[in-house]
Amino acid sequence: MTINTYLNKTTKAASLAAFRILFGLLMLISLLRFVALGWIDKLYIAPDFFFSYIGFSWVQPMGQWTYLIFAICGLSTIGISFGYKYRLSIVTFFLTFTYIEFMDKTTYLNHYYFISVMAFLMIWLPMHRYYSVDAHKDEDLRVQYVPKWTVDVIKLMLGIVYFYAGLAKVNYDWLVNALPLKIWLPGSYDLPLIGGLLEQSWVAYAFSWSGMIYDLAIPFLLLWKPTRNVAFLIVVIFHLLTRALFPIGMFPYIMIVCTLIFFDAKVHERILDSIAKVIGKTRLLFDNGLSITTTNKGYGNWSIYIVGVFLILQLLIPFRHLCYPDNLYWTEEGYRFSWRVMLMEKAGTATFKIVDAETGKRFYVDNRDFLTSFQEKQMSTQPDMIVEYAHYLHDHFTNQGHQNVEIFVESYVTLNGALSKPFINPKVDLAKENDTWGHKDWVLDY
Amino acid sequence: MGCDGDMSDSKPNDLFDRSSMLEHWADGFIIPGYESYLNKIISLEEKSQIFVGNPTVDNLTEIRVAYSYAYSAWQEVSMFEIGKAEELSLRNQTNIYPTNVLLITDNVNTGSYNLELPSNIAAQGFPALDYLIHGIAGTDNEILDQYINSSNHKNYLTDLTTRMLTLTRDVYTDWTTGYRETFIADDGSSASSSVNRMVNDYLFYYERFLRAGKIAIPSGVFSGSPLANNVEAFYSDEPINKYLYINSFTAFRQFFEGESKYTGSGPSLAAYLDYIQVLTNGADISGAITTAMNNVETVSADLGNDLNMQVVEDNSKMLATYDALQVITVFMKADMLSALNISVDYVDADGD
């Protein structure tokens, strides 16, 4: 009963419309920035080899056609903002953006994952029923009110991102040793005003603890009306500070804009009015007093099930590391897709040895012959990439006419400033191991 | 992980002065290093002129001696491929070996070649010179005959040394007419700042040209079977390649420790690591690197004077040297870069 009552609650559709427009705009800026920095060529065309996710090795860059994927992705963001052929646009955006992220595991970032997650969610929400080209053209589509849950799920998703990022910070190194911030902060010693403070130990502790408290508390402070304005101010300060300290690109701006969803619809209407002034189309046409609710025929029932299942998965996936033994930071089994942001300083070297199993003849590989320095850096500390690269080397040298090829790696990794230690068992032939969801017992104990 | 308790009571208040480290690098290593190298190259070019004008055994000996001195001085500056040197690809045009004998022969015979073309990289610099003054014929008299009878040979020798002189002078002049100040002024923390770029160049040199070029490649570490003829200074009658290797390693080490043979000790990567160690209560990385460097010197002492013969007769000592050198790669590439917040390849990319 109560659930049905909740599901039938409505709120202004302006909230979703404002979110849609700003989201599309930020994505467009992000993509243009990516192109302008020359990263398409550097990351997706120049390398000879790309790291894949399990089951997605078919997702590869397409040479010069990769630019086309980016172009389609960029066009779809315009469709999203304008609400023009919205469903097609958001589906296209989700597919192309996710395809791009899956082309090479090297570039994995939580904030790219966040964008895929948001885009997926937005496929199923009535984002284009208000102040959009679609709803302008099609009167049947036009509504002033949408189910409240369709706005709340965006808040919930943002809440998950923050809260889980906060939970991940509740660990010994972060809180007791102020690591890795103690290593990172002195690197920004040349910042104006605060630069000199960043080498102080207490500052690293202050940042570590306040970062943890911020992540855990901010969703609730944004939800509760009395604290909302202050909370948003903190959001802005926090993200701009991280932007100044770390090379995190567009992420801070994206988070700042997304958290606007926590405000009342009045704020979103004001945002739309500002946009209306620029483009000269008022939103009055859309104020038709109509609403769609979950249980009447206006809005597809199945959407709510898809969104529900998706959110339950989002709650569970970050905990999958509990299925693996050993130190999570060391093995990184279950590390990705879990909102573990800026949690460790890890670096390593991996030298691959190619051995002829019959004759014992051996030689080492120069990684720069096959990988970019960025790929080499990422591969050196991540076991799944190490084994994938080992397979690539195995196939490469077998095709070259070498026989009975075995692949061994001598690898060392430093984690959070501890002196580097052996990482992968150097006696294991990695050509015989595979990247699976099972535990990788050839990673040495931390 | 540091277990010495909370460091918050003994926090250092002054920042590590990167700018004075850059100054020490420029004034204690790079500029005097290039100056010394330039003087040796000037001498080499002079001896080459004298020899070409009058090809005698004595003059051949003179150019050979000048070649050894210049080659040795080169080992101290090869790692500084930054600024003008990077722009000109100084290292590629100075010391790519094995030299391409067929290409040299072809260039000499036709008398038409453009040494500025990338295709001629393996036909110039010290390795080509090495071939021209040691390896072009079996005996000294036969070598002299080549130059007495062919003006093409004379021209090629002259062109090689002139080009080395031009390149070196350009690089040195650039450092002394403004680049020094640019280099020192760029003392920030960005990926393209001087410290980040210098450390990347320094490590790249170590991995590729010192560890791989001098030891790993001839001993077959990357090929499976030894390539003894790929040693540096292959044609020299008096083997100098171990000497060159030791010289380059010493220069590499002195740079790390900030021990300039010209201006004495000063701020260094080792000191910077120690500073960060105190700050982060971290591991003793400079200590680990020092131990590894000591080990390299011990292991290298067992190598014979001719690395070519060493590979042929007892390659295990070469392989042991490679293993010792590799330890430094690990500590520098993983631990040092991590501790000093230096991004690999000074390329900006987004992080989380």
Give residue-wise pLDDT tens across range A305-345. 999 999 999 999 999 999 999 999 999 999 999 999 999 99
- At B12 the pLDDT is 38
Asked whether residue A162 falls in the same domain as residue A291, the answer is yes
pLDDT surpassing 90 at residue A294: no
Report the C-alpha gap between A91 and A79 in whole angstroms: 11
Contact B281 A361 (CB under 8 A): no
pLDDT tens per residue across span B295-350: 999 999 999 999 999 999 999 999 999 999 999 999 999 999 999 988 876 455 67
Asked whether residue A149 falls in the same domain as residue A77, the answer is yes
Q: How many CB atoms are closer than 10 A to CB A210?
A: 12
Asked whether residue A46 falls in the same domain as residue A162, the answer is yes
- Which residues of chain B from 309 to 338 reach within 8 Å of chain A, CB to CB? 326, 329-331, 333-335, 337-338
What is the chain A residue with the closest CA to B282?
Answer: A417
What is the chain B residue with the closest CA to A33?
Answer: B350
- At A296 the pLDDT is 55
Which DSSP helix (H) or strand (E) runs through A32?
Answer: helix A14-36
- At A439 the pLDDT is 95
Structural domain for A189, as ranges:
171-263
Q: How many CB pairs under 8 A join A and B?
A: 134
- At A194 the pLDDT is 84
Contact between residue B225 and residue B328 where contact means Cβ atoms under 8 Å apart: no
**Chain B partners of A190 at a C-beta cutoff of 8 Å?**
187-189
To 10 degrees, the CA torsion angle through A367, A372, A377, A383? -70
Whether residue A274 is contained in a domain is answered as no
Backbone angles phi, psi at A296, to 5 degrees: -85, 175
Whether residue A337 is contained in a domain is answered as no
Nearest to A417 among B191, B283, B326 (CB): B283
A202 contact B CB<8A: yes
Contact A374 B1 (CB under 8 A): no
**CATH 3.40.640.10 correct for B17-187:** no
Report the C-alpha gap between A88 and A72 in whole angstroms: 12
**Chain A partners of B221 at a C-beta cutoff of 8 Å?**
363-364
- Which residues of chain B from 203 to 242 reach within 8 Å of chain A, CB to CB? 212, 216, 220-225
- At B196 the pLDDT is 93
Contact A347 B338 (CB under 8 A): yes
A348 contact B CB<8A: yes
- Which residues of chain B from 154 to 213 reach within 8 Å of chain A, CB to CB? 187-189, 191, 212
> In terms of pTM, does the model score above 0.80?
yes
Report the C-alpha gap between A377 and A388 in whole angstroms: 15
Whether residue A177 is contained in a domain is answered as yes
**Chain A partners of B191 at a C-beta cutoff of 8 Å?**
247
Report the C-alpha gap between A14 and A151 in whole angstroms: 10
Å from A56 to nearest chain B CA?
23
Whether residue A199 is contained in a domain is answered as yes
Asked whether residue A20 falls in the same domain as residue A81, the answer is yes
Residue A1, judged by CB atoms within 10 A of its CB (0-12, 13-18, 19+), counts as: exposed
Report the C-alpha gap between A421 and A446 in whole angstroms: 8
Alpha helix positions (H), A83-169: 86-103, 110-123, 133-137, 148-169
Contact B280 A42 (CB under 8 A): no
State the ipTM, two decimals.
0.87
A419 contact B CB<8A: yes
Å from A192 to nearest chain B CA?
12
Contact B334 A420 (CB under 8 A): yes
- At B13 the pLDDT is 40
Whether residue A390 is contained in a domain is answered as yes
Asked whether residue A245 falls in the same domain as residue A394, the answer is no
B62 contact A CB<8A: no
Asked whether residue A135 falls in the same domain as residue A180, the answer is no
Contact B282 A417 (CB under 8 A): yes
Contact A183 B282 (CB under 8 A): yes
Number of domains in chain A: 3
Report the C-alpha gap between A121 and B339 in whole angstroms: 40
Asked whether residue A232 falls in the same domain as residue A300, the answer is no
Which tokens go with B338? 């991590």
pLDDT surpassing 60 at residue A144: yes
Q: What are the domain boundaries of chain B?
A: 17-187, 189-352
A47 contact B CB<8A: no
Whether residue A268 is contained in a domain is answered as no
Asked whether residue A99 falls in the same domain as residue A8, the answer is yes
What is the chain B residue with the closest CA to A402?
Answer: B224
Asked whether residue A363 falls in the same domain as residue A352, the answer is yes
Give the model's confidence band at A302: pLDDT under 50 very low, under 70 low, under 90 confident, else very high: confident
- At A195 the pLDDT is 82
Asked whether residue A385 falls in the same domain as residue A357, the answer is yes
Asked whether residue A162 falls in the same domain as residue A178, the answer is no
Mean pLDDT taken over chain A = 94
- Which residues of chain B from 11 to 30 reach within 8 Å of chain A, CB to CB? 11-12, 15
**Chain A partners of B326 at a C-beta cutoff of 8 Å?**
351, 410
Instruction: Give residues with Cβ within 8 angstroms of A436, minimum separation 6.
Output: A54
pLDDT tens per residue across span A184-209: 998 888 888 888 888 889 999 999 99
The H helix count followed by the E strand count for chain A is 18, 6
**Chain Cα centroid distance, residue A346:** 19
- At B279 the pLDDT is 87
pLDDT surpassing 60 at residue A72: yes
The mean pLDDT of A21-31, rounded to a whole number, is 98
Residues with pLDDT less than 50, chain B = 1-14, 346
Whether residue A224 is contained in a domain is answered as yes
Angle between helix axes B241-257 and B307-330 (nearest 10 degrees) is 20
Contact A374 B333 (CB under 8 A): no
Angle formed at CA B87 by CA B81 and CA B92, multiple of 5 degrees: 60
- At A27 the pLDDT is 98
Contact A417 B348 (CB under 8 A): no
B58 contact A CB<8A: no
**Chain B partners of A354 at a C-beta cutoff of 8 Å?**
224
> Which site among B330, B332, B345, B347 would you substitute to test the A interface, given the most A Cβ atoms closer than 10 Å to its Cβ?
B330
pLDDT tens per residue across span A238-268: 999 999 998 889 999 999 999 999 999 999 9
- At B349 the pLDDT is 65
Asked whether residue A314 falls in the same domain as residue A165, the answer is yes
Whether residue A314 is contained in a domain is answered as yes
Report the C-alpha gap between B194 and B192 in whole angstroms: 7
DSSP letter for each residue of A44-95: IIS-S-----TT-TT----GGGHHHHHHHHHHHHHHHHHTSSHHHHHHHHHH
Q: Would you give the DSSP letter of residue B309?
A: H
pLDDT surpassing 60 at residue A297: no
Contact A361 B225 (CB under 8 A): yes
Angle between helix axes B151-174 and B31-53 (nearest 10 degrees) is 160
